[in-house]
Structure 1
Amino acid sequence: MAFTMEFTSTVHGVTYALTASPTSLELLGAAENGDIVAEGTIKLPPGGATEAAGLVRQALATIAIFEGKARPRVANSHARWTPDDDASLREDWLAQPSSTPATTSIRELAKSRGRSPAAIRARLGRIGCDPDVAGRLLTPETAELLGRDAIAGASVSQQSK
């Protein structure tokens, strides 16, 4: 199956055009005055597009780091959650006033733990906390519906507070 995809983007007066096909990647960058400032072609072997795309992505991410334009990686990104981490997060979540917007509480908890807000939000549901309302646990019905169990030692009567 043959296909060709074209992508364009303009940054700082340079328009980049990337054309991707199963056998090649072609890049052309032209300044506003028409000068070619970037160009290149990568020829791909049959079935090699996925591997090549990964290598190009990795190379470009490294260049972005050197240029100081990469998003900083969260300190504990991909670190395993320990039972102590779960207990601490649960305790801190339940100490939040329900009047505080959940997004604000999640951002603060993420920053203090070196985690992303998405990681905190996902973990709250796993430990029996309602990620949509600060300071609240999931109801037993909601926890059951989501297939989540509260952390060990928390009884259903504690969850329904």
Structure 2
Amino acid sequence: MAFNLEYTSKHRDVTYAMTVVADDDGELGIELLGANDRGTVVAEGALRLPPGGATETAKLLREALGAIAGFEGKRIRQSVGNANQRWTRDQDITLREAWLSHPPTAPATEVIRTLAAERERTPAAIRARLPRLGCDPDVTGRVLTEETAALVGRDAIAG
């Protein structure tokens, strides 16, 4: 499927324009041009990506540009490896088992942080997923009852 996308952004006196063109085979062409208010080109570059190469290239560029921004004294918020990825049935099963394996005395926030790091998810994603698996996100090792499910929200299911 062929398509063209154009993005622009302005920072201080430089306007950046990015054009993405996909051909019928799925190959991507990406061109970047940055010009100041006087029309002087201050940034330019081009990439050619094979079909299916955009996701990994985007991750690589984000990491590289984040590191470079650090040299400029800026910080780019890094995303977690599996952020925005769908949960699989196996992931749900192992998360539920891991949560229920902890004693109720274990601090929930620490367990959530550990589970998040192991799964390359954010703590918020883990906490949001637990009720959907029938787990009480406030007490480790505990399943939701009908009463606690009603408090946690509409997506909570007793398990």
Identify the TM-score tier after normalising by the shorter chain: 0.5 to 0.7
Secondary structure of the residue that 1:67 maps to in structure 2?
helix
Unaligned 5+ residue runs, structure 2? 1-9, 16-63
Give the partner amino acid of 2:111: S
Q: In the alignment, what sits opposite 2:85?
A: 79
> How big is the shift at 1:130?
0.8
> How big is the shift at 1:84?
1.2
> In the alignment, which of 123, 143, 155 is matched to residue 129 of structure 2?
123
Give the partner amino acid of 1:67: A
- Alignment coverage as a number of residue pairs: 104
> In the alignment, which of 68, 71, 79 is matched to residue 66 of structure 1?
68
Spell out the pairing of 1:4-153 with structure 2 (5 A cutoff).
40=13, 64-68=66-70, 69-144=75-150, 146-150=153-157
CA-to-aligned-CA distance 1:92-113 (integer Å, 9 cap, x gap): 0000111111000000000000
Unaligned 5+ residue runs, structure 1? 1-24, 28-39, 43-61, 151-155
Larger Rg, first or second structure (1 or 2): 1
- State the alpha-carbon separation in 1 of the partners of residues 76 and 89 from structure 2: 32
Contact 1:127–1:148 (CA under 8 A) maintained in structure 2: no
CA-to-aligned-CA distance 1:106-154 (integer Å, 9 cap, x gap): 000000000000000000111111111111111122224522353xxxx
- Normalising by the residue count of structure 1, what TM-score does the alignment of the two structures yield? 0.52
* RMSD across aligned positions (CA): 3.3
